[in-house]
Structure 1
């Protein structure tokens, strides 16, 4: 049984927007027409692809699998059109990657920069997200690949180790600050608590302040606004920062993507670049 392109296009638009009204606008059809195409697809497959919510929809497990197929089909189509129509050599297509703040700027961008410079037709979308948000971005198809220190444990997810981060306790080398104030991203950030737990002793009481970006936390520490647990590779050469004598905490860094039978040339090149260059970029160089 073949799948209707019109029905798949309707499903793909709705799966990306998770909103039938927005998807219909994207396809320039009525919401009723979009709903009919999706119902016909569900009927042909004898599957439910969406569950309705008070606002919008969410994918079922079957819907998530079909979304990955649509994404793979779209990526291969982009690559083929680029090869057929471009007068320039090199790779084309879209590359969607998400990582957390201490990795994106210091590791992902340098690792991917040569690939992106050499292939100007690639449309890259590299986004920064909280670690807790990364699994949802991958599982809902909003990105093709994530870099995280908290891997998704699923058989259909490929996991590739990139190295590790070494976290250390830091304070300002010059500015006097509070001995009991510690800087985190937000109230749900557990980095400081986990660091104290890793010391193998009772977690002390401490005040918290929040700066919602890793490099803002580094600047806050340098300015004496408080202490913070930071990845050593980010502050190794920063003379404003002093590392305190605590046992360091190491976390593994991995990249994850959905397993699939075919990878485009761009996807293969990106995976190779990250696997080969990220380990060196994560190493600490004083």
Structure 2
């Protein structure tokens, strides 16, 4: 306990600020996460460096990076601060109602499908819980980046995580407008897509998604071309409705447009199923009452 007595008032906050800047490599992003001003973050880091008498960050007008000392401090602090947060969460569970912040990392499609429908009801039922939801097309490390949980397709969940299935198996759909098919014809097999205008999807990593088809055990991967590349699947649907080309998206995004005739489906027997969405979190981490309440709300629909 003597080591704890060496901590001065504000040190725990300063260490939390340091870890946030280290994770984001940005003072401004850390300020947004911690809900403080950028100047408060800068002052906290500067005071910590003066107290430790060592530089923790290399700063330029364009970038922020950890020094060797900063890297070592961050590596030691992450598990310690995580343990403190978990201890506080355990005590928080004794409250009559869940409270505190629940940070979720998720793809935009998953946010629209499983989170958006329950947000209003969750906010009403749990007014003391603050949801901090980050839309992220990358497969972020939820532990290193300070999230309580992530939401991704089951096949993308790291093996060392606890996964909670949120949706059943779904499928992709290749779709375009009736006007497009009237002008250009309908592909009969995936290889026909090489002769069509396709709306491509770009991952946050910069990679272009190659369309994957499967039938009777035979797989076809098509590197499509076309007039438009987007990083947002709902926008791909809108572009297809406007007749720009063929889009290949999760079928839950096109239910309404298929029902009212704005879009038509092709290659249906070639479109593969994919595992449903899972919410996942590290098995060694305490699951807060707020996160448990959110999981229950999603499963209840």
What TM-score, normalized by structure 2, do the two folds share? 0.69
Taking the aligned partners of 2:83 and 2:53, their CA distance within structure 1 comes to 18
Q: Is the 8 A contact 1:98 1:134 kept in 2?
A: no
Taking the aligned partners of 2:143 and 2:126, their CA distance within structure 1 comes to 28
- What is the correspondence of 1:82-121 to structure 2 with a 5 Å cutoff? 90-121=97-128
- CA-to-partner distance for each residue in 1:214-233, whole Å, 9 max, x for gaps? 21111101111111111112
- What is the correspondence of 1:1-286 to structure 2 with a 5 Å cutoff? 1=1, 3=4, 4=7, 6-18=10-22, 25-26=39-40, 29=43, 31-35=45-49, 55-57=64-66, 61-73=75-87, 75=89, 79=92, 90-130=97-137, 133-136=138-141, 138-149=142-153, 150-153=155-158, 155=160, 157-162=161-166, 163-175=168-180, 180-186=196-202, 188-191=206-209, 193-196=210-213, 200-201=219-220, 203=222, 206-207=225-226, 209-238=228-257, 239=260, 240-246=262-268, 247-252=270-275, 253-260=277-284, 262-274=286-298, 276-277=299-300
Taking the aligned partners of 2:127 and 2:242, their CA distance within structure 1 comes to 40
Report the secondary structure of 2:114's partner residue. Answer: helix
Q: Is the 8 A contact 1:13 1:26 kept in 2?
A: no
Taking the aligned partners of 2:51 and 2:284, their CA distance within structure 1 comes to 26
Q: Is the 8 A contact 2:90 2:288 kept in 1?
A: yes
- CA-to-partner distance for each residue in 1:166-211, whole Å, 9 max, x for gaps? 11211113345766222233273544x1424786236365335223
Q: CA RMSD in A?
A: 3.7
Q: Where does the alignment leave 5 or more consecutive residues of structure 2 unmatched?
A: 31-37, 185-194
Q: Is the 8 A contact 2:197 2:246 kept in 1?
A: yes
- CA-to-partner distance for each residue in 1:10-59, whole Å, 9 max, x for gaps? 2211111226977794368564431255689xxxxxxxxx8979723376
Higher alpha-carbon Rg: 2
Taking the aligned partners of 2:232 and 2:42, their CA distance within structure 1 comes to 39
Taking the aligned partners of 2:149 and 2:159, their CA distance within structure 1 comes to 14
**CA distance 1:28–1:184, change in 2 (3 Å):** closer
Q: Where does the alignment leave 5 or more consecutive residues of structure 1 unmatched?
A: 41-49, 84-88, 279-286
**CA distance 1:212–1:29, change in 2 (3 Å):** closer
Report the secondary structure of 2:220's partner residue. Answer: coil
Taking the aligned partners of 2:107 and 2:290, their CA distance within structure 1 comes to 22
Q: Is the 8 A contact 2:175 2:266 kept in 1?
A: yes
- CA-to-partner distance for each residue in 1:89-130, whole Å, 9 max, x for gaps? 743221221221222112212144422221223222223221
Taking the aligned partners of 1:228 and 1:7, their CA distance within structure 2 comes to 52
Q: Is the 8 A contact 1:8 1:70 kept in 2?
A: no
Q: CA deviation at 1:148?
A: 0.9
Taking the aligned partners of 1:38 and 1:260, their CA distance within structure 2 comes to 31
